[in-house]
Structure 1
């Protein structure tokens, strides 16, 4: 283990620390590496991650000199690159490259699932206004219009008629690249609106065997914004609903070819049964791993690394201190202006609290998951579920936003 290396592809979380704690040496690939990071890893490599050919050449060069046993990232945008590197280095336990592309690109996932007859959803693909008339025939409104390969609910629109679809297309086409400089797929996805409560399924697949760890209830603002405002774990579902959702996710991961991955699959429970919204080949964001660990003792992030070594839940040191339920609530700005809140606010229910902004700071209206104001996490007990405690805290926590005319 002393001389075994793990390649970390532009980590966004605590990947470096996870790998070091397991006793492995670290190779960091990133376009720009900070001064602190240089001393935190064994081999820092500054490289343009959008230049796949150069990255692969560099990794092959490193593999000639070092024993590389894993390629790891929880960075949504870099999962396909990590899979490609693993494939080129002929590592045994990795997410197959084709599966990584399907998880990254909603168009590819929808095509594959529909072809297999798994949770079929009506959809079409367009890349210009001229395609609209023909492609929309036979699909009922309302419709969801979204980019095939962006994230964070960015540029996702609910459209009630053709004019709104046309406006959504125009807005999406303006976004040529995502936040890491990758090209946005020119095929724009238009699909039937999946009406119903939303959930996410946290699971792990090793050697083609999927274990569902739990189901999270997602709280989302009404369209047109579709911002995630909270999560409750575990979701309060009846046995039939839970079994239907679990079955759909297990089938979907198999059809998409997912293996050696922790996944976060978003699902809507519609009148026709559960339907897949998207599959992410990484642990959920928004502190969902915190909620899962508090309730189950399972550390999804550690597990995400361990599966790249062919290991599963049995290899984890499970936390013995667990609670019946856990919830997170995000704080939003309902308008542009200066935000004011009580920095000293405390509640016995809050286990963790974080502000993304400073008191008195100018903020934009929250219109996506990328510009929320902060969050708090609460745990439930046998008498009071975490969702009830979260609702109580929200009522107590006062946030005021004054626009320039009010100040």
Structure 2
């Protein structure tokens, strides 16, 4: 193969959250976008595009790829479409994780089943269809428990229950929370034992079944008893990157899921008994984690994802060792009507990297639980030699958000 290989990119997401991935990939690969609409901000990074009304239509996408004739790989980081894209790779005979492996990540009950069969450390989990079944499962597991949707990600619909009254109060929240493109299951809620301890995530690239960590992030959670993701911190020198217990669980998890070629975002809790797997996503992490990972280490997760999608060695390597973080900002009260929004940047520390307002004037936003990830007001990022400097910069930048309502 000569020149830049052609990669079929299925969906892109929000520019502020995913634009940096296209910046990484476009210089070395020809990106052909499949999207329901015409390209907008993506256009400068593309070699071509095809309007595709339904990104779950594997047959239509297969026809497009065959018409192009020289597609070397397919790529997707949108949770809603990772399974159709895995099937597309199989239909085209291209490298990929395998649709069975992706399905086992997409369906959290299948994840638990596969990991249990392999003896991978994880919370005890019971699939339930009703409040009565949830109460019975929680009584057997022992409180506190976690109620969790079977088919979502980003902590959507996840809630802790400390007593039977909490299970009864929050069951509908776990059952009914959904997003566009999420599969619907008749039995859709997991009751799980609560894993106490700090939460981390590992974005890894998998090539021929070999798992290579790229970005390890420490998660900041809030709005208990919910598990809203408020931010992440990446330290290129984090000792967990060399922790054999974490690395062993990561390898065993991918072996259990039979995940072959692609990228993953694995979330773990560091309990007193050791790391346990919370979930595995068959894509790059969201929430700017690959971005701050790159800022801290020099790794280019988007480029690694494109390489392995084409059957190439990802060549992951670090060229720096600093710290980067992201913090997400929320409305102070339910049903906040936003008239103006922006940041006052004067006087902010040099470590502040980005200050981005996502919410638009004229919209209404609420904090969790009424509001979700999709109602964040914006985010800030920072980069510095130490975690303390990054945290201080994030605090300052968060305080610089100005909203009138």
Q: Aligning the two structures, in what range does the TM-score lie when normalised by the shorter sequence?
A: 0.7 to 0.9
* Structure-2 change in CA distance of 1:82 and 1:360 (3 Å): closer
Query: What corresponds to 1:72 in structure 2?
Result: 75
Moved more, 248-257 or 35-44: 35-44
Unaligned runs of 5+ in 1: none
Question: Does residue 1:31 correspond to 2:36, yes or no?
Answer: yes
* Deviation by residue 1:123-145 (Cα, 9 ceiling, x = unmatched): 10012234335434421011100
Q: Is the 8 A contact 1:147 1:184 kept in 2?
A: no
**Corresponding residue to 1:326 among 324, 340, 360:** 324
Unaligned runs of 5+ in 2: none
Query: What corresponds to 2:280 in structure 1?
Result: 279
Q: 1:360, 1:31 → 2: CA distance?
A: 26
Q: Is the 8 A contact 1:347 1:393 kept in 2?
A: no
Query: What corresponds to 2:204 in structure 1?
Result: 203
Query: What corresponds to 1:100 in structure 2?
Result: 102
Q: Is the 8 A contact 1:264 1:284 kept in 2?
A: yes
Q: 2:40, 2:400 → 1: CA distance?
A: 39
* Structure-2 change in CA distance of 1:123 and 1:63 (3 Å): same
Q: 1:349, 1:19 → 2: CA distance?
A: 26
Alpha-carbon offset, residue 219 of structure 1: 1.1
* Structure-2 change in CA distance of 1:137 and 1:220 (3 Å): closer
SS across alignment from 2:270? strand
Q: Is the 8 A contact 1:219 1:228 kept in 2?
A: yes
Q: 2:160, 2:82 → 1: CA distance?
A: 28
Q: 2:72, 2:343 → 1: CA distance?
A: 48
Q: 1:6, 1:399 → 2: CA distance?
A: 38
Query: What corresponds to 1:355 in structure 2?
Result: 357
* 1:354-373 equivalence runs, <5 A: 354-357=356-359, 362-367=364-369, 368-373=372-377
* 1:239-278 equivalence runs, <5 A: 242-278=243-279
* 1:6-405 equivalence runs, <5 A: 6-12=7-13, 13-14=18-19, 20-24=26-30, 26=32, 28-34=33-39, 40-50=46-56, 52=57, 55-60=58-63, 62-63=65-66, 66-91=69-94, 93-175=95-177, 178-180=179-181, 182-183=183-184, 186-221=187-222, 223-234=224-235, 242-314=243-315, 320=319, 322-336=320-334, 337=336, 342-345=343-346, 346-357=348-359, 362-367=364-369, 368-381=372-385, 385-391=386-392, 393-395=394-396, 397-398=399-400
Moved more, 324-333 or 100-109: 324-333
Please report the TM-score for the alignment, with normalisation by the length of structure 1: 0.84
Q: Is the 8 A contact 2:6 2:29 kept in 1?
A: no
Q: Is the 8 A contact 2:152 2:182 kept in 1?
A: no
Q: Is the 8 A contact 2:8 2:71 kept in 1?
A: yes
* Structure-2 change in CA distance of 1:246 and 1:66 (3 Å): same
SS across alignment from 1:220? strand
Q: Is the 8 A contact 1:146 1:157 kept in 2?
A: yes
Q: 2:9, 2:153 → 1: CA distance?
A: 21
* Deviation by residue 1:87-139 (Cα, 9 ceiling, x = unmatched): 11112x21111111112222111111111111042110012234335434421
Q: 1:378, 1:36 → 2: CA distance?
A: 24
Alpha-carbon offset, residue 34 of structure 1: 4.9
Please report the TM-score for the alignment, with normalisation by the length of structure 2: 0.85
Q: Is the 8 A contact 1:334 1:366 kept in 2?
A: no
Matched pairs, number: 391
- Which of the two has higher C-alpha Rg? 1
SS across alignment from 1:278? strand
* Deviation by residue 1:312-365 (Cα, 9 ceiling, x = unmatched): 332x6x675x34222222223232335676534432221222122358975322
Q: Is the 8 A contact 2:328 2:378 kept in 1?
A: yes
Q: Is the 8 A contact 1:4 1:69 kept in 2?
A: yes
Structure number with the bigger relative contact order (C-alpha 8 A, sep ≥ 6) is: 2
Q: 1:61, 1:202 → 2: CA distance?
A: 30
